[in-house]
């Protein structure tokens, strides 16, 4: 049990629609990151938020956007869904001290399975 919860656990959307996935970080964590994991592959980094600001982004188009709220919960929004967006979406939280660039353990949620038809 990592204390990171994601919702919904499964959902099916139609191509062209929009989806919002939600994540509740572990208490005390100030950093949240999102990943896309296709079957049989490692997670692909989408972006990261630190204290409500995006401070890193992977190779994903702008239709992937996010938010981090003052209580450190987060959302991932995907617009204009494509079939290739079907994947497991993982949220992870951690406590980071960016002034010293020291990294701490990342804790993952169980993920949201998205199927685009």
Partner 1 sequence: KQEVTQIPAALSVPEGENLVLNCSFTDSAIYNLQWFRQDPGKGLTSLLLIQSSQREQTSGRLNASLDKSSGRSTLYIAASQPGDSATYLCAVSLLAGGFKTIFGAGTRLFVKA
Residues of this chain that interact with partner 1 (CB under 8 A) are: 2, 4, 33, 35, 40-45, 48, 50, 54-58, 90, 92, 101-111
Closest distance to partner 1 from the beta carbon of 11 (Å) = 15
Q: Burial of 72 by CB count in 10 Å (0-12 exposed, 13-18 middle, 19+ buried)?
A: buried
Which lies closer to partner 1 via its Cβ, residue 80 or residue 110? 110
Q: Which of 50/65 has CB closer to partner 1?
A: 50
Cβ proximity to partner 1: between 4 and 21 the closer is 4
CA distance linking residue 117 with residue 95, whole number of Å: 37
Report which of 26, 44, 21 is spatially closest to residue 92, judged by C-alpha positions.
26
Residue 113 Cβ, how far from partner 1 at the closest point, in Å? 8
Q: What's the token pair of residue 101?
A: 């660039």
């Amino acid at each position: 049990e990592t204390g990171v919860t994601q919702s919904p656990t499964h959902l099916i959307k139609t191509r062209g629609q929009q989806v919002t996935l939600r994540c509740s970080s572990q208490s005390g964590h100030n950093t949240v990151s999102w990943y896309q994991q296709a079957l049989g592959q490692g997670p692909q980094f989408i972006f990261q938020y630190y204290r409500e600001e995006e401070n890193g982004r992977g190779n994903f188009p702008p239709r992937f956007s996010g938010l981090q709220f003052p209580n450190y919960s987060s959302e991932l929004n995907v617009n204009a869904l494509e079939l290739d967006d079907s994947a497991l979406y993982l949220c992870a939280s951690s406590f980071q001290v960016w002034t010293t660039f020291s990294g701490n353990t990342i804790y993952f949620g169980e993920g949201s399975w998205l199927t685009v038809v």
